[in-house]
Chains A and B, each alone.
Chain A
């Protein structure tokens, strides 16, 4: 053809040529946006120490991932933001007074053992953030105990109060205090109201699967209601359970990590339900005050089994 435009270099691609526009990086960005209110509340309630832990944890996670990828001879892909989000989530579960080396250790354990050891993003069998958290929690129980670390505060730890002083003492804590994050907890995990806002936004936009979150909260609330009805003197209300510990953080941001969750609607819902029920069982009968992180880790291990619940393919008999 005599046409000069023939010189235009066309990009060859594979179908489909249109795309929904979502990428891993954009997904991480929206996660960060949804976590921002809780991060602000954390700084509001805990001051600069909270900011210190968050910044350090994010930086350590990103550095750990870059280092791992370098050692593994892979392309550095920290710009997809997943390591940063994992770091922020881990920071949310640490006390604001956590020492720097604890933060760095947790970040390194999360990324190296919880993600890169299995081959990188999406290949890990259990949640990246919770892997690091669990290692810290069983190795340094005292340093991870926010109640022991946060001495310079007027807040109380609602779950410990429930465990050792009974439901009546726990219910004395005003509900707005729980919502506004005026409770001793992980620095971000306690910002219940802000987490609820951010999490609902993510679920509504489809960035996290609402089936899982709904199942999780129903599991917690359902079992909490059953316990409360059976014995109101020793069991707190479902709202108390939803707004304390890492339930909101876990239900919206941790258990919904799609890499460790089933992918079809019904299995997702059941997965959430099992996770939520486990939280309450650990809280009621376990030694830990907050069962959410371990419940989610256990539910993660169940995900492949739930994935076997699947419909017949189209036209299949």
Chain B
């Protein structure tokens, strides 16, 4: 009912785009910038070292975070705290031979060998981690696991083709997911309008208007309850990655993402670490002075400052927002109490009030106004006629409150922290 009365007249918010075309392969990267934060680099990986596809470059200390593999033939051109830079290079005989020696893992066999039960799941998760997969959300503790089959953000269009045209990959991922997840029930949530049958999977039809794809709202649409216990959500993207590894038997070195601008939109399978500039070139998108470059979704993503930023496993899209197509954000604009954000907020908060509290550093008051119930869907900023960075203010308040809590709380044992980072961390790289 609420959808009828919101002011979202933007057709892009209807998360069905009728795109069913199979994904194209992305560019062969000339350069790559891989995220190596917290990773222990493999032996011999240093500046000028030569690398070949699927070569292990680093190991993540967390059992839930995937290891790092090279997506191509090349040379390590630089290494710093956060990133590892590769430069494409013609391989010689020796390197070719090494590349040919990369053995495929029969992942299903691995799953069988690991056995059932909690121990078996743990072993399987470790095995998958060694194939470059993040298994935190896939293997999370829950009774019911919901696969989020909606396009996460408006403008992202890969969910439909993934469900329709790349079904074999999903099926492979699903078979593996059943081994990996402790959930007793796995449900695939798809848009209401989508006709889809899986013989071995329960389908739940949910609304298809953004913000329906926000995890918390998806859970509510499927279970009818708000923040219930024992229900987990995993992205379709993760399931696809799982299926990709199961199908190829090779470590994960790629991601599916939508590259979009005002006129162009396409879905590509892109190599890990591919530079955004190369990707845009490949997609034929011209950038002009004053355009904004976004990694992630157009509503929740992050703004990039230069073309030499890269996409990593877990990136969902790269978007260009042309200068002049949206009114520019006004950092200092005061709230004019128009109430549009209050009307649209799916969490029933008052973003107007929250953003003002954050503006004047009254973070404790924001806590009293339930800032932690915010789902960070970004709609408040979308409808703000004063063009205030509302979501950014709310994130600031949340960040400051978390910081304050950390200062007050007793120090946690090391190691416990690693696996508990928020979901978004997985794709915030370089």
Contacts and interface: CB of A to CB of B under 8 A. Distances in A.
Interface of A: 1, 3, 5-6, 8-24, 26-27, 119-123, 206, 209, 258-259, 261-265, 310-316
Given A8-B291, A10-B305, A316-B370, A18 B382 contact: yes
A119 B155 CA distance: 38
Interface of B: 5, 7-10, 12, 31, 154-155, 216, 226-227, 275, 277, 281, 287-294, 298-308, 319, 321, 323, 326-329, 334-340, 342-343, 346-350, 352, 370, 373, 375, 378-379, 381-387, 389, 391-392
B348 A313 contact: yes
B347 A313 contact: yes
Given A1-B307, A10-B305, 9 more contacts: A10-B303, A13-B321, A15-B303, A18-B12, A20-B10, A24-B336, A262-B339, A264-B342, A314-B373
14 contacts: A1-B275, A5-B277, A6-B308, A10-B290, A10-B291, A10-B305, A11-B290, A11-B292, A12-B305, A17-B299, A21-B327, A122-B336, A122-B337, A314-B227
Contacts of B328: 11, 13
B289 A9 contact: yes
Contacts of B290: 9-11
Contacts of A316: 370, 373
Overall SS of chain A's interface: loop
B337 A258 contact: yes
A212 to B, nearest CB: 10
Nearest to B346: A314
B387 A23 contact: yes
Contacts of A9: 289-290
B298 A5 contact: no
Given A10-B293, A14-B391, A1 B308 contact: yes
A18 B154 contact: yes
B227 A15 contact: no
Contact of A263 (B342, B346, B387): B342
A62 B55 CA distance: 68
A17 B287 contact: no
B392 A15 contact: yes
Nearest to B384: A19
Contacts of A259: 336-338
B72 to A, nearest CB: 16
A206 B338 CA distance: 12
Given A1-B277, A314-B216, A14 B387 contact: no
Contacts of B8: 20
| Highest count of chain A CB atoms <10 Å: which of B31, B304, B339, B383 | B339
B294 to A, nearest CB: 5
A261 B275 CA distance: 49
Contacts of A20: 7-10, 382-383
Contact of B216 (A23, A123, A315): A315
| Highest count of chain A CB atoms <10 Å: which of B216, B294, B346, B382 | B382
A165 to B, nearest CB: 43
